[in-house]
A and B are shown apart, each in its own frame.
Chain A
């Protein structure tokens, strides 16, 4: 099975900050990686798919990048509604896996 290592597990930041979250795959997954935002009591929301494609309706301050088996989600300027938990998901085969999650907190 493909394992995803997501870091950091917790990230404290301030409004307006630029932050990045990383997800490293245990083997090649091409660009089959997505990023989700989760808020308490709500279903996850797709932000980025295929490593860097912005899902329709998602603000452009969110972006994704890829370098081999390392993937990065960047939020360019934190807004109040961005404080949430973020997950990566690989779907290279029909055995998907999530990263462990990153909780983004207000500093």
Chain B
């Protein structure tokens, strides 16, 4: 059974950065695609970017380019998402999601990490 466990809630100041972790188990970490998705209060799902650890590179949605970095540590099967230059519009629940190579669609999700931006 694949499990993704995310780090805990964060409260950040405007202009600062946040790093959310996503520890996976039960999958094939290196070949799985790990996506990051966020959902602002009362809004829909917003896909942010994806990384396949074995390839070592990440793809990001244009609107986050320059502010987002997705990384992965294969030794601990943990993915990370860092977002810089935070504003109130970044207040959201952030999810990691894993897609196995066999189906390519994310089939397992983390529990979500609430990030609140407040001065």
Contact = CB atoms under 8 A, between A and B. Distances in A.
Chain A interface, DSSP helix/strand/loop, else mixed:
loop
Interface residues of B, number: 23
A89 B105 contact: yes
Given A1-B62, A43-B95, A98 B47 contact: yes
Given A43-B95, A50-B105, 20 more contacts: A1-B61, A34-B105, A36-B45, A43-B109, A43-B110, A43-B112, A44-B37, A46-B107, A49-B104, A50-B104, A87-B45, A89-B105, A91-B99, A94-B50, A95-B61, A96-B47, A98-B37, A98-B44, A98-B45, A98-B47
Contacts of B59: 94-95
B30 interface: no
A65 interface: no
A91 B105 CA distance: 7
Task: Return the 3 tightest CB-CB contacts between A and B, nearest first.
Answer: A43-B109, A34-B105, A49-B105
B103 A49 contact: yes
B47 A46 contact: no
Contacts of B45: 36, 38, 44, 87, 89, 98, 101
B104 A91 contact: yes
Interface of B: 33, 35, 37, 44-47, 50, 59, 61-62, 95, 97, 99, 103-107, 109-112
Contacts of B62: 1
16 contacts: A1-B61, A32-B105, A44-B37, A44-B95, A46-B106, A46-B107, A49-B103, A49-B107, A53-B103, A89-B45, A91-B105, A94-B59, A96-B47, A96-B50, A98-B37, A101-B45
Nearest to A45: B109
Interface in A10-69: 32, 34, 36, 38, 43-44, 46, 49-50, 53, 55
A1 B50 CA distance: 15
Contacts of B37: 44, 98
B116 to A, nearest CB: 16
Contacts of A74: none
